[in-house]
Amino acid sequence: MTDRAPHRLPTDTDDGMLLIISGPSGVGKTTVTRGVERSIADSVFSVSATTRARTDADVEGVDYHFVGDDEFERMKGADEFIETAGVYGKKYGTPREWTFEQLKRGRLVILEIDVQGAIQVKARVPEAFALFILPPTEEVLLQRLRDRKREGEDQIARRFAAARLEIGEARSCGVYDALLTNERIEDTITRAVGLVRAERARRRA
């Protein structure tokens, strides 16, 4: 972590923990992430920088920090990211300084990143707690991708193939503390919140 300590606030604690939530497209990981964020009062969601184009639905600083390719590469070269990833030709990165400042304030800092990002984060922050969200079956995942009605069948096939690879990598890479099968989203959120609270309690003991 960075050596510079932030100014202490009355709400600061020594309970900081970095939480990684991963899972393939269509599995419901963003819903799980938002559920955990709502359920744990001191949690904060890390907003990634990205080179992808901003859509009408995006809010700068809430959904992403939108930057150009040159600026992203400058930030990467200056070690301003904990992890970076390339997804479908676009770049994503987790801001390092903000993340470590929030951890020092005792927050639960939530990163929603892919397996490659999780491997990078665990290398830099071994104490990070990592959850991977699984579909009940591959057939269910494929149907969920289709039900979103966002893409054509060719793009869905690409995402499904990538999802199968990511699931295999998540099972074999050794960075995840728990794999949660998302059959009912409410139950998955409850289980994720329970695991996070139990891990923080264990670390305080």
Q: Domain residues of the chain, as ranges?
A: 17-204
Q: Classify 192 as helix, strand or coil.
A: helix
**155, 179, 177, 148: which is closest to 166 by C-alpha?**
179
Nearest to 19 by CA among 36, 2, 35, 3: 36
Q: Write down the CATH number for the domain with range 17-204.
A: 3.40.50.300
State the pLDDT at residue 152.
86
Dist CA 56 CA 135 (whole Å) = 30
pLDDT at 5: 52
CA distance 171 to 72: 30
What is the rounded CA–CA span in Å between residue 13 and residue 108? 11
Which residues of the chain have a pLDDT value below 50?
1-3
For 134-141, the CB contacts below 8 A with 24+ separation are 134/23, 134/27, 134/167, 134/179, 134/180, 134/181, 134/182, 135/24, 135/26, 135/27, 135/181, 135/182, 136/181, 136/182, 136/183, 138/164, 141/24, 141/26, 141/27
pLDDT of residue 1: 46
Tokens 């939108």 correspond to what residue?
A: 66
Q: How many CA atoms lie within 13 A of 14 on its CB side?
A: 3
One-letter amino acid of 15: D
Q: Identify the DSSP state of 64.
A: B
pLDDT tens for each residue of 52-104: 988 888 888 888 899 999 999 999 999 999 999 887 789 999 999 999 999 99
CA distance 36 to 108: 10
Look up the pTM and report it. Answer: 0.86
